[in-house]
Amino acid sequence: MRATIAFFNNKGGVGKTSLVYHLACMYADQGYSVLAVDLDPQANLSAMFLSEERLEEVLDDETSANTILGAIKPIIEGLGDIAQPAVEDVETATGDVGLVIGDLGLSRFEDRLSEAWPKTLDRDVAALRAVTAFSRIISLAAQSYGADIALIDVGPNLGAINRSALIAADYVVVPLAPDLFSLQGMRNLGPTLDLWRSGWQRRLEENRDASFELPKGSMKPAGYVVLQHAMRLDRPVRAYTQWMSRIPSWYCRYLRQSDSSCSDVAKDPECLALLKNYRSLMPLAQEARKPMFALKVADGALGAQQYAVADCYRDFLALSDKIALACNFKRKARAS
């Protein structure tokens, strides 16, 4: 597998899940085999990929055999190690995507992970298996699906579930909105990632003789994406300009531990994309169960909306290329 990428900000409501969904579909359009992993206990990514009927069928199964919860249930119940994860092969408008379905019951794992974290320094095998469960599930799922890349969606918090989810990630992309709360989120996020990264490196040293493969826990910052900024004549409205001008320096300070004098997001090398608010396209996309950039006239995208669809495709194509470059995997030729 080329890369495992987590999309993470402890500030919610910035469009993170929609970003993961659209990128998974775009990479599928380019010919990649994509694994999307829903590690948010709210399971919003799964709701974007699956019909309500399929989602209800999966979540009504008390065994949770087809969700992330089924894979970690043996650990939660103290019966053993992870089970083979189920991967749902989802047919999208741009190609198939493998999905590890989320589950609201995932929140039951939080306390177990909190208890296990300090015990891993004592070479407690059961604790180590719990903390690395997500990483090993993603590895097994990617292997069974033949995935080139894995995209991980997580909830907006700094809890034990996200710590274990981020340990599984090679790279971290930070979705942002141009507002005070996203800036404050970066101030929390950067030091927390440093703490998790250094804490995991200590545990790797203490458990070098583990009987199973441990993740590297790299969590390298790959850049940020500014989502849904208000636009007027292709320029951000004044109310957002002050926040956008601060993003480059805050990102470098808290995520890169370096200085930046850049105040123009569009010129910041750490900025992967400035994505517009496509307004009327999202409701159409939700109704059609398609990414916005795949909407057709038959889906209700009429007149000027078709130009917006084309713009959306170019924006996500450029973003997927930038992420591929930042995460050190080459873009594939588009599938015929």
Residue indicated by tokens 């500030």: 11
- How far apart CA 198 and CA 74 sit, in angstroms, is 29
Name the residue range of residue 154's domain.
3-326
Contact 158, 225 (CB under 8 A): no
Average pLDDT for 110-116: 96
Q: Considering its fold, how many domains does the chain have in total? A: 1
232: how many CB neighbours lie within 10 A of its CB? 8
DSSP letter assigned to residue 331: P
Q: Provide the whole-model pTM.
A: 0.94
- How far apart CA 122 and CA 127 sit, in angstroms, is 9
Burial classification of residue 156, based on how many CB atoms lie within 10 Å of its CB (0-12 exposed, 13-18 middle, 19 or more buried): middle
Residue 126 lies in a domain: yes
Residue 44 lies in a domain: yes
- How far apart CA 184 and CA 204 sit, in angstroms, is 31
Average pLDDT for 195-224: 95
Residue 334 lies in a domain: no
Residue indicated by tokens 């409205």: 237
- How far apart CA 258 and CA 282 sit, in angstroms, is 37
Residue 335 lies in a domain: no
- How far apart CA 214 and CA 134 sit, in angstroms, is 11
At 83, phi and psi to the nearest 5?
Answer: -95, 160
At 89, phi and psi to the nearest 5?
Answer: -85, 105
Residue 331 lies in a domain: no
Closest C-alpha among 299, 263, 252 to residue 280:
299
Residue 223 lies in a domain: yes
Grade residue 259 by pLDDT with cuts at 50, 70 and 90: confident
Flag whether pLDDT at 84 surpasses 70: yes
Grade residue 230 by pLDDT with cuts at 50, 70 and 90: low
Contact 89, 96 (CB under 8 A): yes
Contact 3, 151 (CB under 8 A): no
Residue 297 lies in a domain: yes
Contact 223, 270 (CB under 8 A): yes
Contact 51, 114 (CB under 8 A): no
144: how many CB neighbours lie within 10 A of its CB? 14
At 295, phi and psi to the nearest 5?
Answer: -65, 145
State the pLDDT at residue 335.
Answer: 46
SS3 call for 72: helix
SS3 call for 219: coil
State the pLDDT at residue 237.
Answer: 59
219 backbone φψ class: left, alpha, beta (φ>0; ψ -120 to 50): left
State the pLDDT at residue 12.
Answer: 80
Flag whether pLDDT at 272 surpasses 50: yes
Residue 332 lies in a domain: no
CATH number, residue 26 = 3.40.50.300
State the pLDDT at residue 172.
Answer: 98
Closest C-alpha among 36, 28, 23 to residue 322:
23
Contact 109, 161 (CB under 8 A): yes
For the stretch 115-162, pLDDT in tens is 999 999 999 999 999 999 999 999 999 999 999 999 999 999 999 999
State the pLDDT at residue 278.
Answer: 85
Greater pLDDT, 198 or 280:
198
Would you say how long the chain is, in residues?
336
For the stretch 287-333, pLDDT in tens is 999 999 999 999 999 999 999 999 999 999 999 999 999 999 876 65
